Amino acid sequence: MTGWAPWVPDDPINGTSFQAYVEVEPVLTLKPGDVVVMDNLGSHKGKAVHQANRKVGAKLLFLL
């Protein structure tokens, strides 16, 4: 389990900035079988975000 996210943007998070974060930070540390839990924020639901998690074999779950 990792700690607090080390990446804090100056602007509001949107799909593009969240995708950039996912491709650079957590995907590099995830291993097959890890579980990623996210809330239902629209930027968390992008196709590229799902693909980045699947690429490393992580399971993606969303809060209800």
| Average pLDDT in the chain | 81
pLDDT in tens, 40-52: 888 888 888 888 8
60 three-state secondary structure: strand
Lowest mean pLDDT among 8-12, 35-39, 45-49, 55-59: 8-12
Q: CA 4, CA 48: separation in Å to the nearest integer? A: 22
25 pLDDT higher than 80 = no
pTM of the shown model: 0.67
Query: For residue 44, how many other CB atoms are within 10 A of its CB?
Result: 19
Cβ contact 36:61 at 8 Å: yes
